[in-house]
Amino acid sequence: MAHSKTPATKMIGTREIASTCGVTVATVTKWAASGAMPRPYRFGTGTNALMRWPKEEIDSWLEQCRVRDEQQAG
C-alpha cells in the first residue's frame, strides 16, 4: 500500500510569536489564556506545558488583526 506524503505543519511557540508581535512571552501566554488568539496545542501538563500553534493559523490570525486595525484606523 502506497503512503502519500503530506507536508509537516510547522509549529511555532510563544517566543516566536512574541518576537513577531513585539510583545513579551507573558503577553502571548495571557492572550492564549483569555482566548484573544487561536488555542494552542499543549504538550505536557500544568505550568510546564509547552504551547505550540500551527504557523499558518498564527499567520492568518495576524492578518485578521492587521485588517481589523486598518478598518478601525479609518
Domain contains 27: yes
At residue 4 the predicted structure's pLDDT band, cuts being 50, 70 and 90, is low
Domain contains 1: no
Domain contains 6: no
Domain contains 33: yes
Tens digit of pLDDT for each residue in 11-24? 999 999 999 999 99
Tens digit of pLDDT for each residue in 21-72? 999 999 999 999 999 999 999 999 988 889 999 999 999 999 999 888 888 8
Domain contains 5: no
Domain contains 2: no
Q: What range defines the domain where residue 60 resides?
A: 11-73
Number of domain units in the chain = 1
The enclosing domain of 49 has a CATH number of 1.10.10
CA atoms of 25 and 19, how far apart (whole Å): 8
